[in-house]
Chain A
Amino acid sequence: MRVMVFVKASPESEAGVMPSEELLNAMGDYNEELVKAGIMLAGDGLKPSSAGARVHFSGKSRTVIDGPFAETKELVAGYWLWQVRSMDEAIEWVKRCPNPMMSDSDIEIRPVFEPEDFGAEFTPERREQEERLRASIASQQA
């Protein structure tokens, strides 16, 4: 299974304070562990929300709102994408992460939807795929 691991923002990350050399080294070592364990698929740090933007959807209207955004603890400062065997394994790996921020902070783990999560439900997309398949088999036979 895959999980997306979100490093939540803190006042200092939102203020654009760069991590200390010590933290960078510790994070570098941690990332190396993740790669050595074969679980790391991707990951990056994000600039503060002051560099970002939001697009608000309401019916047909699209409103652009420039950062920064207020709710610091809900913002994302970085992410990883991991391939793990269970949520428990992901939690164990997160517990081994060095403190990502100088102040108290959170890391949130969210499992990614896998094809089997959709079960036997025949989604429109699948139905379309099925129809395309039938058409292509028919054309091979023709």
Chain B
Amino acid sequence: MSGDASSSTHRAVEAVWRIEAPRLIATLARMTGDVGTAEDLAQDALVAALEQWPTSGIPDRPGAWLTAAAKRRAIDAFRRERMLEEKHATLAHELTERGEHALTALDESIDDDIGDDLLRLVFIACHPLLSREARVALTLRLLGGLTTDEIARAFLVPEATVAQRIVRAKRTLAAARVPFEVPRGAELAERLASVLEVIYLVFNEGYAATAGDAWIRPALSEEALRLARIVATLMPDESEVHALVALLELQASRFPARVDAQGAPVLLLDQNRARWDRLLIQRGLAALARAESLAERAHHPLGPYALQAAIAACHARARVASDTDWARIAALYDALGEITPSPVVELNRAVAVAMAFGPAAGLEIVDALRAEPALAGYHLLPSVRADLLARLGRGAEARAELERAAALTRNERERALLQARAATLGRAGES
């Protein structure tokens, strides 16, 4: 086989792998009861595919092939375990029984109800027992099919660190004997919150571009959006899941407009809205409508993601920045602050209030935040305050705030911009 043909097969195997890996790992995790074992078995199946497919060709049903290959290895592993560990013979026997029973069931319904296993895998990867970093790494690895190297590059940490995180996470889950199941009742809310948080973290890592290779960052946001959409099909009745989809679709709709040709960020109100992605806006608004009607049907108030999505929707609906319904945004921030009190939410509310009801009303809220220790080193507080002071004609105070903001920011571009604004205010004051 020529080099080109084998490399194209190799790429095809990788594509198949990315499509099949989450379902494969999920199925194997149910069989073995252990995510780490499941991933090892799945990896073995991938290795077998990489060895065999270049000569045999890609099978018609590659997913079924990978599952069968992993199953064979699972059974071998169970038997080996039974032989090696005499004293655990009974347990191993049970495992084999369980495994073989699961395998039989699997044969009968190879494509049925895989969704349940996938959802279990989502919940286990985002288990609150694990650190945030571990949850993110495990989710990208098990559900996104990303390699350790890709995750490392995305988060600008050494590959060994990511590998360690994943190994430790799997060990933690095994040691705690975390059951492979979808939580119910009171536990569900807390566990679901963790799933949504992990997806949002991944999205924001791509969106905020704080670190990592430039090329992989948009891919990270796309991955998060894909995961959110998948979870929404797995939990169609959960308002907050659709709300997260809505929030991500709406934020992603602004991607094409959020940086200028030099890569400098363009503020929301300065963005060229003609560049916003109408398809994503439409999808986001539809997901938000779904979230709102589900909440209403369940007689629940809107959750934090629904409120944030509703705020994003206010911007999305305004064809020009001056059409923005700031009074509604202020009310939504108010509601958000009620359920998730945070000085950052309050600062955002201040901006919305200033836009809706004038700078004096906004300044009142901002001034109350100055004593907030959580915002002590946060450059946006003096920056927002400066804007409001400038609009009230208090130029000298505004300039002092801009200089404070410039000293606090760690972003060079932002600092330059703040200093430039301070200098302009200075000249305006002198003249």
The residues of A that contact B312 with a CB separation of less than 8 Å are: none
Rounded to whole angstroms, the CA-CA distance of A109 and B425 in the bound complex is 54
B83: CB under 8 A from chain A? no
Given A88-B15, A92-B19; A38-B226 close (CB under 8 Å): yes
Q: Is A88 a contact partner of B12 (Cβ separation < 8 A)?
A: yes
CB distance from A65 to the nearest CB of B (A): 29
Contact, CB under 8 Å: B260 / A83 = no
> A38, B14: Cβ atoms under 8 Å?
no
- For A140, list chain B residues within 8 Å (CB): 387, 421
CB interface residues, B 383-406, toward A, < 8 Å: 387
Q: How far is the CA of A136 from the CA of B222 in the complex (A)?
A: 31
Cβ of A18 within 8 Å of any chain B Cβ, yes or no, is no
Question: Which chain B residue shows the least CB distance to A123?
Answer: B261
Selected contact of A129 from candidates B62, B115, B260, CB within 8 Å: B260
Q: Is the CB of A141 within 8 A of B270?
A: no
Complex: how many Å from CA A132 to CA B275?
14
Q: A130-B260, A141-B421 are in contact. Are A35 and B11 (CB under 8 A)?
A: no
Interface status of A137 (Cβ within 8 A of chain B): yes
Query: Contact partner of A85 among B62, B219, B255, CB < 8 A?
Result: B219
**CB atoms of B15 and A36 under 8 A apart:** no
In whole angstroms, how far apart are the Cα atoms of A76 and B428 in the complex? 61
B77 in the interface, Cβ–Cβ < 8 Å?
no
Majority-rule SS of B interface residues: helix
A126–B274 CA distance with the chains assembled, in angstroms: 12
Contact residues of A: prevailing secondary structure: helix
**Which residues of B have CB within 8 Å of A39?**
226
B18 and A89 form a contact (CB under 8 A): yes
Which partner residue on chain B sits nearest A29 by CB separation?
B111
- Measured CB to CB, the closest approach of chain B to A134, in angstroms, equals 9
Complex Cα distance, B260 from A127, in Å, reads: 9
Whether the pair A35, B260 counts as a contact (CB closer than 8 A) is no
Q: What would 14 more interface pairs be, CB under 8 Å, given A85-B219, A85-B222, A88-B14?
A: A37-B19, A38-B227, A38-B233, A81-B279, A88-B15, A92-B16, A93-B19, A115-B256, A116-B215, A116-B218, A123-B261, A129-B266, A133-B266, A137-B417
Interface residues of A (CB under 8 A from B): 1, 35-39, 41-42, 81, 83, 85-86, 88-89, 91-93, 114-116, 120, 122-123, 126-127, 129-130, 132-133, 136-137, 140-142
CB-based closest 6 A-B pairs: A38-B229, A88-B15, A38-B226, A141-B424, A126-B261, A38-B230
Q: B residues bordering A, Cβ < 8 Å?
A: 11-12, 14-16, 18-19, 62, 115, 215, 218-219, 222-223, 225-230, 233-234, 255-256, 260-262, 266, 270, 272, 275, 279, 283, 387, 417, 420-421, 424-425, 428
Give 6 CB contacts A-B under 8 Å: A36-B234, A38-B228, A85-B222, A88-B12, A89-B15, A116-B218
